[in-house]
């Protein structure tokens, strides 16, 4: 029967020392810690340099959405040509609007930055989107779906 003490014996029946493994593990840990601290210190200027680019992206995003003013972001159909009775999507996106209306009516509409409604095309149809804000400003766009045989 093997006792607990016998399992730590080397090939020459001498006790094995765990010191080399402890030293090696500690060395690897210190090297990793040094690398992390070094990499973190060298990345700081990069992060600070990125701040102006981030601020520019934020300004571009605010401008895209109308800077607080009414804006029709998108209004399109997909596909723009269908067979009679075929289906298409009429998609719209508005910003800072309180009401959205599409003529001819395609169902219930509401302000959204991205929304699509499925339509069935019986004939060539021009759809007109009208968005309005609380100040009474209005923007309109038109999109067409054509039927092909």
pLDDT of residue 127: 98
Which residues, 6 or more positions from 71, have their beta carbon under 8 angstroms from its beta carbon?
A: 65, 94, 95, 96, 139
Q: In terms of domains, do 56 and 120 share one?
A: no
CATH no. for residue 75? 2.60.40.10
pLDDT of residue 7: 55
Q: What is the pLDDT along the chain (149 residues), one digit of tens a residue?
A: 555 555 555 566 666 677 888 888 888 888 888 888 887 765 555 555 556 788 888 888 888 888 889 999 999 999 999 999 999 999 999 999 999 999 999 999 999 999 999 999 999 999 999 999 999 999 999 999 999 98
pLDDT of residue 106: 94
Q: In terms of domains, do 86 and 128 share one?
A: yes
Domain range holding 18?
A: 1-64
Per-residue tokens: 127 = 């759809």
> Structurally, how many domains does the chain consist of?
2
Q: In terms of domains, do 60 and 75 share one?
A: no
pLDDT of residue 33: 84
pLDDT of residue 10: 56
Q: In terms of domains, do 44 and 87 share one?
A: no
Domain boundary among 17, 46, 64: 64
Whether a cis peptide bond, with omega within 30° of 0, leads into 79 is yes
Q: In terms of domains, do 143 and 75 share one?
A: yes
CA dihedral in degrees (122, 128, 129, 134; nearest 10)?
-140
pLDDT of residue 102: 97
pLDDT of residue 12: 61
Length of the chain: 149
Domain boundary among 34, 64, 94: 64
Angle at 125 between CA 123 and CA 128, to 5 degrees: 165
The overall pTM is greater than 0.85? no
pLDDT of residue 109: 95
Sign for the CA dihedral angle at 63, 54, 111, 141 comes to positive
């Amino acid at each position: 029967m093997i006792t607990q003490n016998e399992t730590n014996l080397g090939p020459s029946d001498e006790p094995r020392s765990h010191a080399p493994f402890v030293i090696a593990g500690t060395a690897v840990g210190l090297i990793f810690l040094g690398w992390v601290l070094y990499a973190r210190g060298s990345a700081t200027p990069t992060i600070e340099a990125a701040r102006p680019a981030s601020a520019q992206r934020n300004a571009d995003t605010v401008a895209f959405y109308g800077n607080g003013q009414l804006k029709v972001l998108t209004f399109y159909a997909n596909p723009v040509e269908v067979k009679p009775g075929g289906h298409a999507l009429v998609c719209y996106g508005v910003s800072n609007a309180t009401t959205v209306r599409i003529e001819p009516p395609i169902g219930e509409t509401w302000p959204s930055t991205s929304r699509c409604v499925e339509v069935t095309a019986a004939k060539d149809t021009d759809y007109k989107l009208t968005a309005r804000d609380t100040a009474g400003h209005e923007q309109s766009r038109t999109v067409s779906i054509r039927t092909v045989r």
